Amino acid sequence: MSTLVAKRSSLTPKALLHQKYGSKACYKIEEVQESIDSSFPGLALPQQVRCRYRCCLELLELTFVSDAFMRKKDAEQAAAQMAIEKLGIQSKTDDLTPDEAWDELVARISYLFSEKFLSSAHPLVGHFREAIQREGMVPISIIAACDAKINNLCKLIDPKGESDPLSVVILILKAARQCVSVCISGDLWIKNQKPFFPAMPVFQSEPTNSVLVEAIRIPCSYEGSIETLNLNIVPNKYYMDEIARSLGVCDSSLVLMSRTIGKASSEMRLYFSALGVPFLARDSSLEFLLNAKEHAEPIFNERASCISGQNIYGDAILANVGYTWRSPDLLHEDVSLGTYYRMLLNRLPDGGYKLLRESILAAELPTAYTTRLNWKGPSPRELLCTFCRQHRLSEPAFSLKNTTDIVSSSEHKSMTLKLCDSVKSLKSVKEDEFGSDVVPDSSNKQFGMAGNFRCEVCILSKGNDVILEYIPEESYRKQNDAIQNASLKVLMWLNEYFKQPVTPMGTLSSCRYVQGIHINQQKFCQEFELCLSIHGFQKRIALRKCSLSDQSCTLYDIEGPDSGVSPSQGFLACISYTVALVREGEDMKELLESKDEFEFEVGTGAVTPQLETCVTQLSINQKARFSVALPSKDLILAAAGGSAKYFAQLLSSDSFNEKSCYLEYSVKLLGVTEPLEDRMEQALFSPSLSKQRVEYALRHISESQATTLVDFGCGSGSLLESLLEHTTTLQKIVGVDISRKSLNRAAKTIHSKLSMNANHGIQNASIKYAELYYGSITDFDPRLYAFDIGTCLEVIEHMKEDQAHLFGEVVLGSFRPHLLIVSTPNYEYNPILQKAALPDKEEDADDKPSQTSQCRFRNFDHKFEWTREQFNHWASNLASRHNYSVEFGGVGGSAEVEPGFASQIAVFRRSASHQTEDCMINHESSGVYERIWEWNNR
């Protein structure tokens, strides 16, 4: 385990608000022009003005306006300080000893019942107004839940207060007995020794009728279903009495409250009976509660505890009602069944992404961060921070290192930048880019390197214990890319584990997506065990995995003509879709989810596999439908939103049969955007470089009279498909790739064209046999030995550099084609391409090259790009080792004009003296590749 930990420092007001409320705090800066008094009033000098800045902070539907300052930062900090003082947030509580905190607690309780406090706008004042009707008595649980200062002091005195609401109540109960101005009355009531002050503002609202507020009942028993109930809020009656009645408690002082849940401006809380809480330590203060208990054994409410992050016992009620800072009125909102299931979904690593994209049944957490422009929705870093806040963890700590320094320095000196929002020790530089204070490093001077920045991530508990640490192997050319990719890798690992909670952690530490994860197993289980153990969670995952296991997609009712423009890997696809619950054999179709416009990057796993398969088979303006098995009930109800109650009744009815129902997706492809690499090339070259590369290969096929061809790294079959459109001597074509999805797409396209040529009796259709194989081009398969021609166009740069060298050895040393054509980007040409393409306003400003920074690669997935010298050195050495000759060429540009060709090409020719070796290989022997598709017209 690394020594990476989050170091606490004294937080600025702005940092303290961000730690508590995140992005909910909105700062707006306005300029203020101030006149400068002239020192020479008799002279006719033009009046001078200076610019100062005022900050307007919006938080919890409150507005805080600072004075004018010379610096924007000072204005923001001043506004943040005003909010801290207004909201009663403790900024110095951590500096107090438990004894000092106890004295502060006693003083705070006395202050709450003072005339000064009762004339303020604090939410507790609304409860004090209600207390007039019961001789000034206020439930202690209200003070424990609604006053942030008291809550923070209690947590310092007894850390259990973070997770146990009753422990806070007990501390207030004891502290109140030391206050001469207040007294304890009855069970858990507190009141002033004297009657309320006449000066206390008693707000009289207009008489209204009673209001039914929808709330959620969460039974403690797993056998009980989540249900809605109505709270009858009656004018001039305390709403806590109604909640107590709904919980079956005769006294509202025995109702405990959780912290607020959900939006910071809401009063959504969980309410439960104090009688259901186990009292392991018999405190004399609680003897009356022990005597009042009637239940044999308290039952821990896992579902309620999960969404609140606190220990909840017995049945609980989730309601959004109470007093807030923004109004003296009692505010209330309905809490629907869908709200509960969305809160549950938000606890999962991918749940925040689904919810924020408003696409629960279509969106998936992407498995790749390509560019900022292509990423849709909140960034991976934002999602990881939100996930940590949801689970009451510290902000994740990020450590950014310059790998160039690590390699070049004899002392292995690294630049470490703490990006944790709670650590504000660095000056703010490019805050918009990184979301934190970062000093950019532009020291990378090496051309063609995969990257120079590596970001380590550490997730810590509230107690600053390391829970999870990610130490990546990959490095990136940009600091922001390193941060976002590291965040995404951690989210992907967490998502994998939450879907397979019974899998040993050691197995998942090297899961299919992520390597480099280190876990403190004890702390990890301690923090996440509750969320994983919610009733039905594992069953829910099993159902979901079952519905997604078959990634094939059969379309029906495709509408619209084929426009010829379809999305593939790297494209941005824009679609509209609807998802409906359908019962087979019946005329029932209930709409669950719909989006008029939804954009995602193809090939990054940003949508369900079936939806992506569907979209890649459509062309612009075409429509299609497909169906999938039902996902989990919880996911359906989360997607249903306001209609969740109806769907819950439908899914639980006796007539409902899960096997006869399915989800039907209706999809329309609205438009596509090509990858930036393609757009850059099209901005300078016509025809495009990809077409020029095909023409280059065709010339060599024609010259060599080749009859067999293998395309190494064929992808979606663009080269093989293009060959079918020309008259050649080829009779057999084969493609190899490591992506099943791309191979399936290639099979569909090539099969369609070959069948059409055969059916129409096209005379120049010379190809008699075609195959597609799944496998790595660094592995040898004897079935592909000694083909007439081999191609590998724009492939090796997608491999790690050592793998590209290995491919060279395998292809010339084992496959040994008579002719091999290899193309790769010329890194020296990138400035010209990027200068031609990036003035477009729609491009990401961060992607625009500057004179002081090196050019980026043409594609996010490129692991390296070689200069002409590097490429020539690789190809020449390779050819000499394996008895091949090599000649160099290219497309796009000219060899005589700097910087040469945009796409550089090496053509390897096998020496005639080694042609006799072909008979030594058994071409029909079984190989390592898996045949995906075959076409035979012999």
- Please give the full DSSP string across 858-881, using - where no structure is assigned: SSTT-S--B-HHHHHHHHHHHHHH
Nearest to 393 by CA among 314, 469, 467: 467
pLDDT above 70: residue 501: no
pLDDT band at 431 (very low <50, low <70, confident <90, very high): very low
pLDDT above 90: residue 671: yes
pLDDT above 70: residue 865: yes
pLDDT of residue 505: 58
How much of the chain exceeds pLDDT 70, in percent? 79
pLDDT band at 823 (very low <50, low <70, confident <90, very high): very high
Find the helix or strand (DSSP H, E) in which 290 lies: helix 287-292
Contacting residues for 163 by C-beta, under 8 A, at least 6 apart: 309, 310, 311
pLDDT of residue 516: 87
pLDDT above 50: residue 849: no
pLDDT of residue 727: 86
CA triplet 658, 664, 670: central angle to 5 degrees?
A: 160
Q: Extract the tokens encoding 68.
A: 């004018």
pLDDT band at 452 (very low <50, low <70, confident <90, very high): confident
pLDDT band at 853 (very low <50, low <70, confident <90, very high): very low
pLDDT of residue 409: 45
How far apart are the C-alpha atoms of 851 and 86, rounded to whole Å? 48
How far apart are the C-alpha atoms of 4 and 471, rounded to whole Å? 10
pLDDT above 90: residue 166: no
pLDDT band at 435 (very low <50, low <70, confident <90, very high): very low
pLDDT band at 410 (very low <50, low <70, confident <90, very high): very low
pLDDT of residue 560: 86
What distances in angstroms separate CA 465 from CA 269, 347, 501, 520, one per listed residue? 28, 21, 22, 9
Q: Extract the tokens encoding 243.
A: 């909640």
**Residue 449 or 275, more confident:** 275
């020309």: which residue's tokens?
726
Q: Extract the tokens encoding 220.
A: 């403690």
List the single range of 3-7, 583-587, 662-666 with lowest mean pLDDT: 3-7
pLDDT band at 922 (very low <50, low <70, confident <90, very high): low
Contacting residues for 578 by C-beta, under 8 A, at least 6 apart: 591, 593, 594, 665, 666
How far apart are the C-alpha atoms of 187 and 170, rounded to whole Å? 12
pLDDT band at 44 (very low <50, low <70, confident <90, very high): low
Residues forming a β-bridge with 401: 454
pLDDT of residue 563: 80
In sequence order, which ranges of 373-478 are alpha helices (DSSP H)? Answer: 380-390, 403-408, 431-434
List the single range of 64-73, 425-434, 503-512 with lowest mean pLDDT: 425-434
Sign of the alpha-carbon torsion through 876, 880, 882, 884: positive
* Average pLDDT of span 46-65: 82
What distances in angstroms separate CA 109 from CA 103, 115, 118, 477, one per listed residue? 10, 13, 12, 55
pLDDT of residue 248: 92
List the single range of 180-189, 544-553, 893-902 with lowest mean pLDDT: 544-553
pLDDT band at 235 (very low <50, low <70, confident <90, very high): confident
Nearest to 249 by CA among 132, 341, 141: 141
pLDDT of residue 551: 46
pLDDT of residue 426: 32
pLDDT of residue 583: 85
What distances in angstroms separate CA 499 from CA 518, 519, 544, 670, one per listed residue? 18, 17, 9, 33
pLDDT of residue 91: 56
């191979």: which residue's tokens?
743
* Average pLDDT of span 194-211: 60
| Cβ contact 215:319 at 8 Å | yes
* Average pLDDT of span 523-532: 84
- Per-residue model confidence as pLDDT tens digits over 130-165: 877 666 788 999 999 998 889 889 999 998 888 889
pLDDT band at 420 (very low <50, low <70, confident <90, very high): very low
| Cβ contact 819:704 at 8 Å | yes
Q: Extract the tokens encoding 899.
A: 């910087």
Q: By three-state DSSP, how is residue 371 classified?
A: coil
How far apart are the C-alpha atoms of 85 and 561, rounded to whole Å? 64
How far apart are the C-alpha atoms of 125 and 151, rounded to whole Å? 17
**Residue 836 or 73, more confident:** 73
pLDDT of residue 837: 58
* Average pLDDT of span 433-455: 49
Nearest to 709 by CA among 740, 746, 736: 736
Question: What is the largest distance, in Å, between two alpha-carbon atoms of the chain?
Answer: 111
Q: Which amino acid is at 582?
A: V
- What structural domains does the chain harbor? 13-38+47-87 (3.30.160.20), 90-335 (no CATH), 366-534 (no CATH), 548-673 (3.10.50.40), 691-704+786-914 (3.40.50.150), 706-785+921-938 (3.40.50.150)
- Per-residue model confidence as pLDDT tens digits over 301-354: 999 999 998 999 999 999 999 998 878 888 899 999 999 999 999 999 999 999
State the average pLDDT for the chain: 81
pLDDT of residue 504: 60
Q: By three-state DSSP, how is residue 664 classified?
A: strand
pLDDT of residue 287: 55
| Cβ contact 498:534 at 8 Å | no
How far apart are the C-alpha atoms of 91 and 94, rounded to whole Å? 8
How far apart are the C-alpha atoms of 707 and 731, rounded to whole Å? 5
pLDDT of residue 765: 63
pLDDT of residue 665: 96
pLDDT of residue 48: 67
pLDDT band at 47 (very low <50, low <70, confident <90, very high): low
pLDDT band at 93 (very low <50, low <70, confident <90, very high): very low
How far apart are the C-alpha atoms of 565 and 575, rounded to whole Å? 14
- Please give the full DSSP string across 483-533, using - where no structure is assigned: HHHHHHHHHHHHHHHHH-TTS-HHHHTT-SS---EEE-HHHHHHHHHHHHT
pLDDT above 60: residue 889: yes
pLDDT above 80: residue 422: no
* Average pLDDT of span 393-419: 63
* Average pLDDT of span 414-429: 37
How far apart are the C-alpha atoms of 256 and 316, rounded to whole Å? 10
Residues forming a β-bridge with 593: 579
């994209």: which residue's tokens?
357
pLDDT of residue 9: 45
- Per-residue model confidence as pLDDT tens digits over 203-225: 545 446 789 999 999 999 888 88
- Per-residue model confidence as pLDDT tens digits over 743-789: 988 898 898 888 877 666 554 467 899 999 999 999 999 999 999 99
Phi/psi of residue 698, each to 5°? -65, -35
- Per-residue model confidence as pLDDT tens digits over 244-259: 999 998 888 899 999 9
SS3 content of the chain, % helix, strand, coil (to 5): 40, 25, 40
pLDDT above 50: residue 443: no
Count the residues in the chain.
938
Phi/psi of residue 354, each to 5°? -60, -45
- Edge-first strand order for the sheet with 189-192 is 138-139, 189-192, 182-185
pLDDT of residue 498: 85
pLDDT of residue 901: 95
Contacting residues for 754 by C-beta, under 8 A, at least 6 apart: 724, 765, 767, 770, 935, 937
Phi/psi of residue 731, each to 5°? -115, -25
pLDDT above 90: residue 870: yes
Q: By three-state DSSP, how is residue 706 classified?
A: coil
pLDDT of residue 207: 47
pLDDT above 60: residue 42: no
Nearest to 175 by CA among 123, 140, 124: 140
List the single range of 537-551, 602-616, 707-721 with lowest mean pLDDT: 537-551
pLDDT of residue 547: 40
Q: Extract the tokens encoding 53.
A: 């800045």
